[in-house]
Amino acid sequence: MLPFLKVEQVNKSFARGAATTEVLRNINLTISRGEYVSIIGHSGCGKSTLLNLIAGLAKITTGGIILDNREVNEPGPDRAVVFQNHSLLPWLTTYQNVKLAVDKVFSQSKSRSERHTWTMHNLELVQMVHAKDKLPAEISGGMKQRVGIARALAMEPKVLLLDEPFGALDALTRAHLQDSVMQIHARLGNTVIMITHDVDEAVLLSDRIVMMTNGPSATIGEVLDVPLPRPRKRLELSSDPTYLRSREAVMRFLYERHRAPSLQAA
Ligand SMILES: Nc1ncnc2c1ncn2[C@@H]1O[C@H](COP(=O)(O)OP(=O)(O)OP(=O)(O)O)[C@@H](O)[C@H]1O
Ligand SMILES: [Mg+2]
């Protein structure tokens, strides 16, 4: 497949006064259209920094990122981000939060009634139509994440960037939302980059898992292919040899070869 997103020789340093810290070194990654790629690595290694560079929310120090033949150097609606903690506007209802993004992106290309229909369609995708008139404070954490995902999907981004989207949720809600995201990915064929700390989540959802070494100067240590056919069913996978092998490869990387810095002296 042709490369859709290309991260080429990217370095990122943060300067503070006279001191600079190199957070990412020599990051190279090519992603095809429709791929689901996870990024996993110990806390502080630079996963969010990498996602922010792709989102255009932080400036690349050296190197370049190309999305669909265009260089990325600022934020844009072609890259929608969902953060660990929802970032909904508290004074707007569920519907209004999604509609705001729809109005912004499609003000020229869709009529008023089309924008309404599109907003409802995206709320349907995440099964949140029933709570469309509720404020964020009136719905659960899992529901808020659903609305955040609907808002991101509604922008029809070229890439969906998820920074630990299920991190703050309890295990059952998390499983439910993972299933929803898998169904949406199967239906729409989005290109997704997801940061996670959860090995099972990474294997269940991804086509490839990018494993990062520890910082400072973190880089991509290994990339694992997850050749499991789709649709994937979590219960059936728990004894699948390919699933178990993939899981073990990630565990070995994280807990043998690149242990958390705080554990290395132990
Ligand atoms: N704006 C900034 N200025 C200076 N240093 C920063 C900035 N943002 C991040 N860093 C540093 O870059 C490193 C990587 O941070 P980052 O948030 O990307 O890690 P992460 O892998 O997402 O961690 P976690 O898993 O805990 O979310 C950290 O050492 C952090 O202190
Ligand atoms: Mg992070």
**Residues 185-214: tens digit of each pLDDT:** 999 999 999 999 999 999 999 999 999 999
Residues of the chain under the 50 pLDDT cut:
265-266
The pLDDT value recorded for residue 266 is: 45
Condensed to tens digits (0 to 9), the pLDDT of residues 117-162 reads 999 999 999 999 999 999 999 999 999 999 999 999 999 999 999 9
The pLDDT value recorded for residue 131 is: 97
Strand pairing category for 208-212 and 19-32: unpaired
Ion ligand 2 — residues with CB < 5 Å: 48
For residue 46, the CA-to-ligand 2 centroid distance in Å is 7
Nearest to 160 by CA among 42, 34, 9, 28: 34
| Ligand 1 contact, 98 CB (< 6 A) | no
d(CA 9, CA 264): 28
| Ligand 1 contact, 45 CB (< 6 A) | yes
The pLDDT value recorded for residue 263 is: 60
Q: What is the CA radius of gyration of the chain?
A: 19
Place of tokens 């090519």: 30
Which residue's CA lies nearest to atom 25 of ligand 1?
43
Angle (CA) 242 182 244, round 5°: 15
Which residue's CA lies nearest to atom 3 of ligand 1?
14
The pLDDT value recorded for residue 257 is: 82
The pLDDT value recorded for residue 66 is: 97
151, two tokens:
């808002």
Which residue's CA lies nearest to atom 6 of ligand 1?
14
Which residue's CA lies nearest to atom 9 of ligand 1?
49
The pTM of this model reads: 0.94
Instruction: Reduce the DSSP state of residue 162 to 3 states and report it.
Output: strand
For residue 47, the CA-to-ligand 2 centroid distance in Å is 6
